Structure formats: structure tokens, C-alpha cells
Structure 1
Amino acid sequence: MTFYTYGYLTTHHNTWQYARIGLLIALLVVFIGLFVHYLRNRWNVKYKDLSIITGVLLLLVLGLQINSLVSLQSATKQSGEISATVQQAAKHLKVSPSSLSINSTSVSDNLLIKSSQGYYRLDYNTDGSAFILEKVTLENPKIKLVKE
């Protein structure tokens, strides 16, 4: 079972996002350079073909980037919700949030919280506005802790 620390939930960033932005900027610079070179030398058609190919790649990466940004926004919202849940549970258990770990990065049923005091199960009410902490005992726990 995998548990995520509070620090991981609050600082987890997608590094591929930055690589895609860098690739997008590099393709844009190459596209502009090739297109300008084609406009200067209209007799050389290979620069026109290369600029079209680069433009198509640029549009493809841009589409992937937009799709990734939508996914990242959804994941950030879910991570914010679970971080708030960990903060509320820490307040209820009278410990700091950094000492807690949770078994999911999004709010769902059957959430478990690992604390220095033991393991707790979170049961949400039907509309998800409140929860109950119930102390549980895990049989043969095989815990993997994911930190920052």
C-alpha cells in the first residue's frame, strides 16, 4: 500500500510540463527562423517545406500541451482537496499535517491516514462535506511511503 506525505501532496509538480514548454518555445523559434529564411530566399523551396513541417510539429506539441494543462489543472484541484482533508484530520488528531500520510492523491472512498498514533480510516458523509476518523488496525501492512 502506498502512502503519500503531506509535503509530497503540497509540492508535487509535473516536471514534464516544463520540458514541453521548452520544446514548444524551441519549435516556435525554429519555425520563425525557417519561415524568415524562406521569405528572404523565395527560390529555395526546401525552407518552405521545413517551415511547414516545423509548423505542424508546433501545432501537435501545442495540442498536447493544452491537453496536459487541463489534466494538470484537474490534478492540482484534487491535490488541493486532499491537502485540505489532511489538514482537517491533523487538526482533529492534534498533530501537525507534516506528520500525516494518506493513501491517495485524490479524495475518494476508503481513504487511510497513517499517523504516529496509528492508522485511521476516513468515512465521508453522503454529500462529502464532512468525515469521521475511525482508528483501524492493518493486518500485515506493506507500506511504501512516497515523500517530497
Structure 2
Amino acid sequence: MMTTETRTHRVVVRAALVAAAAAVLLVGLAALAGGSAAAAGAAVGGAIAVGVFAFGAFAVDAVSRLMPAASLLFAMVTYTFQVVVMALVFVGINRSGLLDDELDRNWLGGAIILGAVVWMAVQVRLATTARIPAFEPRPSTPSEGGAR
């Protein structure tokens, strides 16, 4: 019998794998269309997107198993943290001088957007089709339904 933790873990892993595969395809397309700077930009953007979303999803999954009552609050804080981390990484790359020299800005941004869209689409699809119970059913006792 598969536990709820295993099911949610599989949803997160599958979303990460599909988003990583989309990033790899985008790197190949970028290499063909724009050269090495475009491919490097797409690779960095894909790594940022998959890394940030995977970290957040695994963290929320762990907290929801340990402290279910705090999971919604932690999910909202994690989402805010993900946005801040992505912005800080992008600002850091921009200030480093790598953008437009070694990393194509458009392909990097496109890879982050593609990673976010693919991640959300796959996670929503898998989460809505997974049979994860919202609550544990109350076990029936022998006195229920019996003679009184």
C-alpha cells in the first residue's frame, strides 16, 4: 500500500523531472538558434527555475507531513521566498556582468518562465489526478451499526 507521503513525493519528483526535461530541450533549441551564449542562458535559467521550485515543493511537502496545521502558512512564506530568491539570483547575475556577454538575457528569462509554467502545469495535473485523501477516515467500531 502506498502512503500519502510517497504519493506527494512522487508528484514533486515528477514535476521536477518534466521541468528539467523541458529545460534540456530549451537548451538544445537555444544552441541551434542562438549559439553558446543562448544555450548557457537557457541552461542557467532552467537550473534556477527547477532548483527554486524543487526546493520549495520539497520543503512544503516536509512541513505538511510534520506539522499539517502550519502547511498553508509555510506554503505562502515559501512562495514569497521563492520569488525573492529568483529575483536576487537574477540581480546577482545581472550585476556580475555575465548577462549579454556569456549568458543571453532573453533565453535565461525564457527558460525561467518555461520552467515555471511547466512546473505548475505538471504539478497541478499530477496533484489533481493523484488519489491523495484530504483526511483520514474515522475507523468504524464494532458498536456502530450493531445491536444496542
Which structure shows the bigger proportion of residues in helix conformation?
Answer: 2
Question: Greater RCO between the two (CA within 8 Å, min separation 6)?
Answer: 2
* Higher gyration radius (CA): 1
When the two structures are superposed, what TM-score results if normalisation uses the length of structure 2? 0.34
More strand, by proportion: 1
TM-score where L is the length of structure 1: 0.34
